[in-house]
């Protein structure tokens, strides 16, 4: 477990973008550097180790567009993630970035309860260098996927490429498309789900639809039904914002929770018995044992060449097994 100790000798510097306006500086720093608690940042601010436009500020200071921030981060007393020979499927790689097709059941970076076996541990083995922008616990990590979500994830090898890619996410110019198999079927063939998302009031691991006064933040997801079955559907989702668990929460809200999403549907698997009844010979066969959500397509601008890129990950085997069973036993008409 890491614990905080002395401050770093060199400050971390950055400029506030529009999406962060009016957020308290201690809250903003905690969201940007989640390896540290909010109380730690309050102590750092009280120590005068956070400067905004070259002036010390209080924890209650609300950041503004264009603010120049310098922060001396506490040095964490931990071992950096160790290289582990874990197989990875690289969809793309050059001297500035890589794209990995992440397998399900893989945590992206070390954190409480998961200090090994993560994507970062594997990257340390496979790649000679990784960007340092996200800190020692998350080298190279520009964005993240939930543990049980499979598919495409961007990796930055250099700080300059990391900053370029991060700005694309911040400006919402990177296009991400996901495939989801859901219980139920939306009424419309395509639509936008535009509902604020915030922390669940009683369940610390969950997010929920929330009002602005309860911490809800703007969240918008476009969806399109690709295939309908009796009681199920295959959906293409394109999040227009990047809230935690956004697709999972939004689909649950419209009555179509993702198959085998234990946190939001209460079920951690889909079996043949769920589709054809408990008396079937192979009723106990598990078709999928994790949320049926896959990061299918990424469209972006290459951070060095400035050329547009589009990367695609095929439907993983477990989701293919579900679709095959649905087409065989739950086809419409």
Contact 250, 219 (CB under 8 A): yes
DSSP helix, strand, coil percent of the chain (3-state; round to 5):
20, 30, 50
- Active site amino acids: 146
Contact 250, 222 (CB under 8 A): no
Residue 26 CA to residue 32 CA, distance in Å, equals: 10
Residue 100 CA to residue 160 CA, distance in Å, equals: 19
Residue 210 CA to residue 189 CA, distance in Å, equals: 26
Contact 269, 286 (CB under 8 A): yes
Contact 271, 322 (CB under 8 A): no
Closest to 308 (Cα-Cα) out of 300, 320, 297: 300
Is residue 180 within a helix (H) or strand (E), and if so which, with residue range? Answer: strand 175-183
Closest to 91 (Cα-Cα) out of 270, 232, 297: 297
Residue 166, classed as helix, strand or coil, is helix
The values of phi and psi at residue 30, to 5°, are: -65, -40
Residue-level length of the chain: 333
Residue 159 CA to residue 142 CA, distance in Å, equals: 10
Residue 207 CA to residue 263 CA, distance in Å, equals: 10
**Tokens 């009844």 sit on residue:** 277
């Amino acid at each position: 477990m890491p614990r905080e100790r002395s401050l770093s000798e060199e400050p971390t510097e950055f400029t506030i973008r529009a999406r962060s306006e009016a957020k308290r500086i201690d809250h903003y720093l905690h969201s940007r550097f989640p390896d540290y608690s909010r109380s730690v940042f309050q102590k750092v601010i009280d120590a005068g180790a956070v400067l905004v436009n070259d002036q010390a500020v209080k924890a209650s200071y609300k950041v503004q567009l264009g603010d120049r921030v310098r922060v001396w981060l506490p040095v964490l007393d931990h071992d950096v993630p160790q290289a582990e020979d874990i197989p990875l499927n690289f969809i793309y790689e050059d001297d500035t970035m890589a794209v990995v097709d992440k397998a399900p059941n893989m945590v992206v970076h070390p954190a409480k309860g998961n200090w090994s076996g993560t994507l970062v541990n594997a990257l340390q083995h496979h790649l000679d260098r990784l960007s340092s922008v996200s800190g020692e616990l998350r080298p190279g990590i520009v964005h993240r996927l939930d543990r049980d979500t499979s598919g495409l994830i961007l990796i930055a090898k250099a700080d300059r490429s990391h900053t370029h890619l991060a700005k694309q996410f911040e400006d919402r110019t990177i296009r991400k498309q996901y495939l989801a198999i859901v219980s139920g079927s939306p009424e419309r063939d395509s639509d936008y789900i535009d509902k604020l998302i915030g922390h669940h009031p009683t369940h610390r691991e969950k997010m929920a639809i929330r009002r602005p006064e309860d911490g809800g933040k703007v969240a918008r997801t476009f969806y399109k039904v690709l295939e309908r079955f009796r009681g199920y559907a295959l959906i293409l989702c394109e999040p227009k914002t990047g809230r935690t668990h956004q697709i999972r929460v939004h689909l649950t809200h419209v009555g179509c929770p993702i198959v085998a999403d234990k946190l939001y549907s209460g079920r951690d698997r889909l079996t043949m018995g769920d589709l054809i009844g408990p008396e079937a010979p192979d009723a106990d066969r598990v078709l999928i044992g994790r949320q049926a959500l896959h990061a299918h397509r990424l469209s972006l601008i290459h951070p060095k060449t400035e050329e547009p890129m589009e990367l695609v990950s095929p439907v993983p085997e477990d989701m293919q097994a579900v679709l095959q069973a649905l087409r065989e036993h739950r086809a419409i008409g």
